């Protein structure tokens, strides 16, 4: 991953052991079932959208696109959230996605 937010890098430096444990837990969760990497990335994006976490939406959108998910597919995932989280939440996630896509060039 090319970009790590400052709060996360600060956490890594201040609490290296907790970061290590967190990373191990994340790897264990990813390998705990039959979903492939692509599906896991889209699921994590959907969870981030539902939580309305700007940082997580941007991170998971960026990571999904880094592994080959197209911007159109990520946008579709955002649009699917409209009937679950509501129009304002979907619009916020769409704006965050646009920022990620624009930053990628």
* pLDDT at residue 5, as a whole number: 80
| Per-residue confidence (pLDDT) for residue 105, from 0 to 100 | 84
Please give the pLDDT value at position 2. 59
Contact yes or no for 50/81 (Cβ under 8 A):
yes
Which regions in the chain score pLDDT beneath 50? 1
CA distance 60 to 49: 9
Encoded tokens for 44: 């994590």
| pTM for the model | 0.87
End-to-end CA distance of the chain: 16
Asked if residue 74 lies in contact with residue 45, where contact means CB atoms within 8 angstroms, the answer is: yes
Would you state the pLDDT for residue 81? 97
> Which class would CATH give 36-104?
mainly alpha
pLDDT score, position 22:
95
pLDDT at 1: 47
> In three state form, how does the secondary structure of the chain look?
CCCCCHHHHHHHHHCHHHHHHHHHHHHHHHCCCCCCHHHHHHHHHHHHHHHCCHHHHHHHHHHHHHCCCCHHHHHHHHHHCHHHHCHHHHHHHHHHHHHHHHHHC
Domain range summary for the chain, segments of one domain joined by +: 1-33, 36-104
């Amino acid at each position: 991953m090319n970009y790590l937010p400052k709060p996360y890098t600060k956490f890594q430096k201040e609490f290296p052991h907790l970061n290590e444990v967190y990373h191990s837990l994340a790897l264990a969760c990813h390998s705990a079932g039959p979903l492939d990497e692509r599906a896991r990335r889209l699921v994590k994006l959907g969870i981030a959208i539902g939580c309305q976490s700007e940082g997580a939406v941007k991170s998971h959108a960026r990571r999904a696109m880094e592994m080959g998910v197209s911007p159109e597919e990520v946008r579709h995932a955002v649009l699917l959230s409209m009937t679950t989280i509501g129009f304002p939440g979907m619009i916020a996630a769409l704006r965050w996605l646009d920022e990620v896509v624009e930053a990628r060039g």
